[in-house]
Amino acid sequence: MKVLVTGGAGYIGSHTVVLLIDAGYEVVVFDNFSNASKESIRRVEAIVGKEIVVVEGDIRSREDLAKVFSSYKIDAVIHFAGLKAVGESVEQPLRYYDNNVNGSVVLCEVMSEYNCKSIIFSSSATVYGDPHTTPILENFPLSATNPYGRSKLMVEEILRDVYVSDNEWKIVLLRYFNPVGAHKSGSIGEDPNGLPNNLMPFIAQTAVGKREYLSVFGNNYDTVDGTGVRDYIHVVDLAQGHLNALDRIRNFNEPMTINLGTGNGYSVLEMVEAFEKASAKKVPYTIAERRVGDIATCFADPSYAKEVLDWEATRGIDEMCEDTWRWQSQNPNGYII
Protein backbone atom coordinates (compact mmCIF):
# COMPACT_ATOMS: atom_id res chain seq x y z
CA MET A 1 0.00 0.00 0.00
CA LYS A 2 1.35 3.41 -1.03
CA VAL A 3 0.72 6.29 1.35
CA LEU A 4 1.20 9.97 0.65
CA VAL A 5 2.18 11.82 3.81
CA THR A 6 1.63 15.56 3.47
CA GLY A 7 3.70 17.45 6.02
CA GLY A 8 5.77 14.29 6.41
CA ALA A 9 8.94 16.23 7.24
CA GLY A 10 7.32 17.87 10.27
CA TYR A 11 7.18 16.81 13.90
CA ILE A 12 4.29 14.34 13.92
CA GLY A 13 4.73 13.45 10.23
CA SER A 14 8.36 12.37 10.59
CA HIS A 15 7.53 10.05 13.50
CA THR A 16 4.63 8.58 11.56
CA VAL A 17 6.83 7.99 8.51
CA VAL A 18 9.21 5.93 10.66
CA LEU A 19 6.38 3.67 11.82
CA LEU A 20 4.86 3.41 8.34
CA ILE A 21 8.13 2.29 6.78
CA ASP A 22 8.84 -0.11 9.64
CA ALA A 23 5.38 -1.60 9.10
CA GLY A 24 6.08 -2.16 5.40
CA TYR A 25 4.09 0.68 3.82
CA GLU A 26 5.49 2.46 0.80
CA VAL A 27 5.69 6.14 1.64
CA VAL A 28 5.85 9.33 -0.38
CA VAL A 29 6.53 12.44 1.70
CA PHE A 30 5.13 15.70 0.37
CA ASP A 31 6.22 18.89 2.13
CA ASN A 32 7.00 22.49 1.25
CA PHE A 33 9.49 22.71 4.14
CA SER A 34 7.86 25.91 5.41
CA ASN A 35 8.18 24.55 8.95
CA ALA A 36 10.58 21.65 8.59
CA SER A 37 14.17 20.90 7.83
CA LYS A 38 15.47 18.50 5.19
CA GLU A 39 17.72 17.20 7.93
CA SER A 40 14.65 15.56 9.52
CA ILE A 41 14.28 13.42 6.40
CA ARG A 42 17.94 12.38 6.53
CA ARG A 43 17.50 11.43 10.19
CA VAL A 44 14.39 9.37 9.41
CA GLU A 45 16.34 7.63 6.64
CA ALA A 46 19.07 6.79 9.14
CA ILE A 47 16.50 5.36 11.58
CA VAL A 48 14.72 3.17 9.02
CA GLY A 49 17.84 2.36 6.99
CA LYS A 50 16.14 3.23 3.70
CA GLU A 51 15.96 6.12 1.29
CA ILE A 52 12.69 7.99 1.47
CA VAL A 53 10.80 9.33 -1.53
CA VAL A 54 10.35 13.04 -0.91
CA VAL A 55 8.55 15.49 -3.15
CA GLU A 56 8.98 19.16 -2.36
CA GLY A 57 5.72 20.92 -3.09
CA ASP A 58 2.77 22.82 -1.72
CA ILE A 59 -0.68 21.38 -1.07
CA ARG A 60 -2.18 24.57 -2.53
CA SER A 61 -0.58 23.80 -5.89
CA ARG A 62 -2.57 21.51 -8.18
CA GLU A 63 0.52 21.12 -10.36
CA ASP A 64 2.72 20.01 -7.47
CA LEU A 65 0.12 17.48 -6.32
CA ALA A 66 -0.72 16.25 -9.82
CA LYS A 67 2.97 15.47 -10.32
CA VAL A 68 2.88 13.19 -7.29
CA PHE A 69 -0.41 11.47 -8.11
CA SER A 70 0.60 10.91 -11.73
CA SER A 71 4.01 9.52 -10.78
CA TYR A 72 2.87 7.24 -7.95
CA LYS A 73 -0.27 5.18 -7.51
CA ILE A 74 -1.27 6.57 -4.12
CA ASP A 75 -3.78 4.47 -2.15
CA ALA A 76 -4.30 6.76 0.84
CA VAL A 77 -3.24 10.13 2.18
CA ILE A 78 -2.26 11.06 5.73
CA HIS A 79 -2.72 14.80 5.75
CA PHE A 80 -0.51 16.56 8.30
CA ALA A 81 0.45 19.61 6.22
CA GLY A 82 -0.71 22.81 7.83
CA LEU A 83 0.24 25.82 9.88
CA LYS A 84 -0.32 25.40 13.60
CA ALA A 85 0.55 28.49 15.64
CA VAL A 86 -2.56 29.84 17.35
CA GLY A 87 -1.21 33.37 17.97
CA GLU A 88 0.11 33.69 14.43
CA SER A 89 -3.28 32.58 13.10
CA VAL A 90 -4.93 35.52 14.90
CA GLU A 91 -2.47 37.92 13.25
CA GLN A 92 -2.56 36.29 9.81
CA PRO A 93 -5.98 34.67 9.44
CA LEU A 94 -6.00 34.70 5.64
CA ARG A 95 -2.66 32.93 5.49
CA TYR A 96 -4.05 30.23 7.79
CA TYR A 97 -7.30 29.81 5.86
CA ASP A 98 -5.40 29.73 2.58
CA ASN A 99 -2.84 27.21 3.77
CA ASN A 100 -5.00 24.96 5.93
CA VAL A 101 -8.44 25.20 4.33
CA ASN A 102 -7.70 26.01 0.71
CA GLY A 103 -4.75 23.61 0.77
CA SER A 104 -7.00 20.80 1.99
CA VAL A 105 -9.62 21.59 -0.66
CA VAL A 106 -7.03 21.47 -3.45
CA LEU A 107 -5.64 18.23 -2.03
CA CYS A 108 -9.09 16.59 -2.03
CA GLU A 109 -9.78 17.79 -5.57
CA VAL A 110 -6.58 16.26 -6.89
CA MET A 111 -7.15 13.08 -4.87
CA SER A 112 -10.59 12.77 -6.41
CA GLU A 113 -9.22 13.33 -9.93
CA TYR A 114 -6.83 10.44 -9.41
CA ASN A 115 -9.47 8.31 -7.71
CA CYS A 116 -7.65 8.24 -4.39
CA LYS A 117 -10.41 8.62 -1.82
CA SER A 118 -8.93 7.64 1.53
CA ILE A 119 -7.73 10.37 3.86
CA ILE A 120 -6.68 10.65 7.48
CA PHE A 121 -6.80 14.24 8.66
CA SER A 122 -4.93 15.91 11.56
CA SER A 123 -7.56 17.67 13.58
CA SER A 124 -7.15 18.98 17.09
CA ALA A 125 -8.74 19.02 20.52
CA THR A 126 -8.94 22.75 20.00
CA VAL A 127 -12.23 22.12 18.13
CA TYR A 128 -13.89 21.50 21.52
CA GLY A 129 -13.26 25.13 22.55
CA ASP A 130 -13.76 25.45 26.32
CA PRO A 131 -15.52 22.19 27.21
CA HIS A 132 -18.12 22.24 30.00
CA THR A 133 -16.83 18.99 31.45
CA THR A 134 -13.90 16.59 31.10
CA PRO A 135 -13.01 13.99 29.93
CA ILE A 136 -13.95 15.10 26.44
CA LEU A 137 -16.01 12.81 24.21
CA GLU A 138 -16.17 13.09 20.43
CA ASN A 139 -19.82 14.17 20.51
CA PHE A 140 -19.17 17.24 22.69
CA PRO A 141 -20.18 20.63 21.23
CA LEU A 142 -17.65 22.16 18.87
CA SER A 143 -16.43 25.73 18.75
CA ALA A 144 -13.37 27.64 17.72
CA THR A 145 -11.81 30.62 19.40
CA ASN A 146 -9.16 31.48 16.81
CA PRO A 147 -8.53 31.11 13.05
CA TYR A 148 -6.30 28.06 13.54
CA GLY A 149 -9.04 26.20 15.39
CA ARG A 150 -11.63 27.39 12.91
CA SER A 151 -9.50 26.10 10.03
CA LYS A 152 -9.55 22.64 11.65
CA LEU A 153 -13.31 22.77 12.17
CA MET A 154 -13.83 23.92 8.59
CA VAL A 155 -11.76 21.11 7.13
CA GLU A 156 -13.60 18.56 9.28
CA GLU A 157 -16.91 19.87 7.90
CA ILE A 158 -15.62 20.04 4.34
CA LEU A 159 -14.50 16.41 4.54
CA ARG A 160 -17.91 15.35 5.87
CA ASP A 161 -19.54 17.17 2.94
CA VAL A 162 -17.18 15.44 0.53
CA TYR A 163 -18.36 12.12 1.91
CA VAL A 164 -22.04 13.09 1.55
CA SER A 165 -21.40 13.91 -2.11
CA ASP A 166 -19.52 10.68 -2.75
CA ASN A 167 -19.81 7.74 -0.37
CA GLU A 168 -16.73 6.10 -1.81
CA TRP A 169 -14.58 8.40 0.33
CA LYS A 170 -13.02 6.88 3.44
CA ILE A 171 -12.35 9.62 5.98
CA VAL A 172 -10.81 9.57 9.44
CA LEU A 173 -10.63 12.78 11.46
CA LEU A 174 -8.15 12.39 14.30
CA ARG A 175 -8.39 14.95 17.07
CA TYR A 176 -5.01 15.14 18.76
CA PHE A 177 -4.59 16.30 22.32
CA ASN A 178 -1.09 17.59 23.22
CA PRO A 179 1.70 15.77 21.36
CA VAL A 180 5.07 15.69 23.12
CA GLY A 181 8.09 13.39 23.24
CA ALA A 182 10.39 12.15 20.54
CA HIS A 183 11.68 9.01 18.88
CA LYS A 184 13.76 6.80 21.21
CA SER A 185 16.92 7.44 19.20
CA GLY A 186 16.82 11.12 20.14
CA SER A 187 17.58 11.96 16.51
CA ILE A 188 14.15 13.32 15.52
CA GLY A 189 11.87 15.51 17.59
CA GLU A 190 10.03 18.78 17.79
CA ASP A 191 12.05 21.72 16.50
CA PRO A 192 10.01 24.89 16.88
CA ASN A 193 11.01 28.06 15.07
CA GLY A 194 12.08 30.81 17.47
CA LEU A 195 10.34 31.12 20.82
CA PRO A 196 8.29 27.95 21.46
CA ASN A 197 4.55 28.50 21.91
CA ASN A 198 3.99 25.14 23.54
CA LEU A 199 4.85 24.05 27.03
CA MET A 200 7.04 20.98 26.45
CA PRO A 201 9.56 22.52 24.03
CA PHE A 202 9.76 25.57 26.31
CA ILE A 203 10.51 23.41 29.34
CA ALA A 204 13.09 21.42 27.34
CA GLN A 205 14.84 24.55 26.07
CA THR A 206 14.91 25.94 29.61
CA ALA A 207 16.40 22.72 30.97
CA VAL A 208 19.12 22.74 28.30
CA GLY A 209 19.99 26.36 29.12
CA LYS A 210 18.63 28.07 25.99
CA ARG A 211 15.95 29.92 27.98
CA GLU A 212 16.40 31.47 31.38
CA TYR A 213 13.05 30.47 32.85
CA LEU A 214 9.60 29.22 31.99
CA SER A 215 6.64 31.57 32.35
CA VAL A 216 3.75 29.63 33.84
CA PHE A 217 0.64 31.19 32.36
CA GLY A 218 -1.60 31.56 35.40
CA ASN A 219 -1.79 29.74 38.73
CA ASN A 220 -5.36 30.58 39.65
CA TYR A 221 -7.27 28.11 37.49
CA ASP A 222 -9.66 25.69 39.13
CA THR A 223 -7.21 22.77 38.90
CA VAL A 224 -5.10 20.66 41.21
CA ASP A 225 -2.46 23.38 41.71
CA GLY A 226 -4.00 26.32 39.86
CA THR A 227 -2.05 25.76 36.61
CA GLY A 228 -3.53 24.54 33.30
CA VAL A 229 -4.16 20.82 32.86
CA ARG A 230 -3.65 19.06 29.52
CA ASP A 231 -3.61 15.58 28.05
CA TYR A 232 0.00 15.14 26.89
CA ILE A 233 0.43 12.26 24.48
CA HIS A 234 3.69 10.71 23.30
CA VAL A 235 4.21 11.44 19.60
CA VAL A 236 5.03 7.78 18.89
CA ASP A 237 1.71 6.69 20.42
CA LEU A 238 0.03 9.36 18.31
CA ALA A 239 1.83 8.15 15.19
CA GLN A 240 0.71 4.59 15.94
CA GLY A 241 -2.90 5.81 16.02
CA HIS A 242 -2.52 6.76 12.35
CA LEU A 243 -1.28 3.29 11.45
CA ASN A 244 -4.24 1.70 13.21
CA ALA A 245 -6.58 4.07 11.36
CA LEU A 246 -4.93 3.29 8.03
CA ASP A 247 -5.19 -0.40 8.68
CA ARG A 248 -8.94 -0.15 9.23
CA ILE A 249 -9.90 2.69 6.91
CA ARG A 250 -11.37 0.41 4.22
CA ASN A 251 -13.86 -0.99 6.75
CA PHE A 252 -15.27 2.38 7.78
CA ASN A 253 -18.55 3.14 6.08
CA GLU A 254 -18.79 6.74 7.21
CA PRO A 255 -16.39 9.48 8.30
CA MET A 256 -14.86 8.58 11.66
CA THR A 257 -14.03 11.25 14.23
CA ILE A 258 -11.70 10.00 16.92
CA ASN A 259 -9.88 11.52 19.90
CA LEU A 260 -6.23 10.61 20.26
CA GLY A 261 -5.29 11.30 23.85
CA THR A 262 -4.28 9.33 26.91
CA GLY A 263 -7.22 10.21 29.15
CA ASN A 264 -4.86 11.63 31.79
CA GLY A 265 -4.44 15.30 32.57
CA TYR A 266 -1.28 16.87 34.01
CA SER A 267 -0.80 20.41 35.26
CA VAL A 268 2.01 22.70 34.11
CA LEU A 269 3.78 22.28 37.45
CA GLU A 270 3.43 18.50 37.31
CA MET A 271 5.06 18.59 33.88
CA VAL A 272 7.90 20.75 35.21
CA GLU A 273 8.47 18.31 38.05
CA ALA A 274 8.43 15.27 35.77
CA PHE A 275 10.85 16.95 33.39
CA GLU A 276 13.24 17.87 36.18
CA LYS A 277 13.24 14.24 37.27
CA ALA A 278 13.83 12.93 33.74
CA SER A 279 16.59 15.39 32.91
CA ALA A 280 18.19 15.87 36.32
CA LYS A 281 18.14 19.60 35.46
CA LYS A 282 16.39 22.48 37.18
CA VAL A 283 13.62 24.18 35.27
CA PRO A 284 13.34 27.65 36.81
CA TYR A 285 9.92 29.20 36.40
CA THR A 286 7.96 32.29 37.25
CA ILE A 287 4.22 32.76 37.51
CA ALA A 288 2.91 35.02 34.75
CA GLU A 289 -0.49 36.29 33.62
CA ARG A 290 -2.93 33.85 32.08
CA ARG A 291 -2.48 33.51 28.30
CA VAL A 292 -5.46 34.87 26.38
CA GLY A 293 -7.65 32.08 25.06
CA ASP A 294 -6.28 29.38 27.39
CA ILE A 295 -8.67 27.05 29.19
CA ALA A 296 -8.25 25.44 32.59
CA THR A 297 -8.53 21.77 31.78
CA CYS A 298 -8.54 19.64 28.65
CA PHE A 299 -8.23 15.88 28.49
CA ALA A 300 -9.68 13.17 26.35
CA ASP A 301 -11.97 10.28 26.84
CA PRO A 302 -9.99 7.93 24.59
CA SER A 303 -12.40 4.98 24.77
CA TYR A 304 -13.74 5.41 21.23
CA ALA A 305 -10.21 5.06 19.82
CA LYS A 306 -9.85 1.84 21.78
CA GLU A 307 -13.17 0.57 20.45
CA VAL A 308 -12.80 1.41 16.76
CA LEU A 309 -9.03 1.51 16.27
CA ASP A 310 -7.97 -0.93 18.96
CA TRP A 311 -5.57 1.82 19.95
CA GLU A 312 -4.53 3.25 23.26
CA ALA A 313 -1.56 5.26 24.41
CA THR A 314 1.05 3.17 26.19
CA ARG A 315 3.73 5.71 27.07
CA GLY A 316 3.45 7.67 30.32
CA ILE A 317 4.60 11.08 31.41
CA ASP A 318 8.08 9.89 32.51
CA GLU A 319 8.81 8.38 29.12
CA MET A 320 7.47 11.51 27.39
CA CYS A 321 9.89 13.66 29.39
CA GLU A 322 12.86 11.27 29.05
CA ASP A 323 12.46 11.06 25.27
CA THR A 324 12.00 14.82 24.90
CA TRP A 325 15.13 15.34 26.97
CA ARG A 326 17.18 12.89 24.89
CA TRP A 327 16.20 14.78 21.71
CA GLN A 328 16.75 18.22 23.28
CA SER A 329 20.09 17.41 24.91
CA GLN A 330 21.46 15.69 21.79
CA ASN A 331 20.20 18.53 19.59
CA PRO A 332 20.26 21.71 21.65
CA ASN A 333 19.76 23.76 18.49
CA GLY A 334 17.30 21.41 16.83
CA TYR A 335 18.10 20.28 13.30
CA ILE A 336 20.61 23.08 12.73
CA ILE A 337 23.88 21.21 12.97
Q: Binding string to ligand UFG for residues 131 to 170, with x set by CB under 6 A, is what?
A: ----------------------------------------
Q: How far apart are CA 304 and CA 312, in angstroms?
A: 10
* Contact by Cβ (8 Å): 2, 28: yes
Query: Any catalytic annotation for residue 128?
Result: no
The contact mask relative to ligand NAD for 108-147 (x = CB under 6 A, - = no) is --------------x-x-----------------------
Closest approach, Cβ 185 to ligand NAD, in A, equals 18
> What is the Rg, in whole angstroms, of the alpha carbon atoms belonging to the chain?
19
Examine residue 30 and tell whether it contacts ligand UFG (CB under 6 A).
no
> Distance between CA atoms of 174 and 268, rounded to whole angstroms?
25
- Count of residues in contact with ligand UFG, rule CB under 6 A: 21
- Tell me the torsion sign for CA atoms 137, 143, 149, 154: positive
Taking alpha carbons only, the member of 217, 184, 183 closest to residue 199 is 217
Choose the stretch contacting ligand UFG; rule: CB under 6 A; options: 137-145, 173-181, 239-247, 318-326: 173-181
CB 249, CB 170: distance < 8 Å: yes
**In the window 94-133, what residues touch ligand UFG (CB under 6 A)?**
124-126
Does residue number 193 form part of the binding site for ligand UFG (CB under 6 A)? no
Neighbours of 272 (CB within 10 A): 23
Residue 162 has phi, psi (to 5 degrees) of -60, -40
- Out of ligand UFG, ligand NAD, none, what residue 199 binds, judged by CB under 5 to 8 A for its kind, is ligand UFG
Residues in Cβ contact with 245 at an 8 Å cutoff, skipping those fewer than 6 apart = 120, 172, 174, 256, 258, 309
Name the residue type at position 65. Answer: L
Query: Is 57 or 186 the residue whose CB approaches ligand NAD more closely?
Result: 57
Could you tell me the smallest distance in angstroms from the CB atom of residue 238 to ligand UFG?
11
Is the peptide bond prior to 179 cis by the omega test (within 30 degrees of 0)? Answer: no
Give the catalytic positions in this structure: 148
Q: Which residues lie near ligand UFG (CB under 6 A)?
A: 84, 86, 124-126, 176-178, 197-199, 202, 214-217, 228, 230, 268, 291, 294
Q: Which residues bind ligand NAD (CB under 6 A)?
A: 6-7, 9-13, 31-36, 58-60, 80-84, 99, 103, 122, 124, 176, 178-179
